[in-house]
Amino acid sequence: MPRKANPKPDADKGKEKVIKAALRAYSHNDLLPVEFEKLSLKQLVDAAKKNDFGDTLVDFIIFELNEGLDGEDWDRAAELIERGKDDLDAVVGGLYAVPVARKK
């Protein structure tokens, strides 16, 4: 029986494509010290691990999409980032609530 080809390279290329699109959409991508367009998926993840981008939100985007995707899945990518946004919104709400609680 012939062995199945490893689908990982295609999946990695899909992840890389989605991550780069997300970074292109990032509002401060022009300030990043790393030319992310030239990097492979592995290089993107390695740069995020070392915080070469100098922006932990960019690192988060790369980690979240790399770990949460099985390939090029735009809907899933949007869901992953939306979930992160929801978590951050909860933190913002909690921070705004602290001064109100402290005044009592």
For 87-103, what is each residue's pLDDT tens digit?
999 999 999 998 766 66
What are the tokens at 80?
């992953």
The pLDDT of residue 79 is above 80 = yes
Whole-number pLDDT of residue 99: 76
76 pLDDT band (50/70/90 cuts)?
very high
Whole-number pLDDT of residue 24: 97
Distance (Å, whole) CA 26 – CA 22 = 6
Q: Supply angle C-alpha 81, 85, 89, rounded to 5.
A: 170
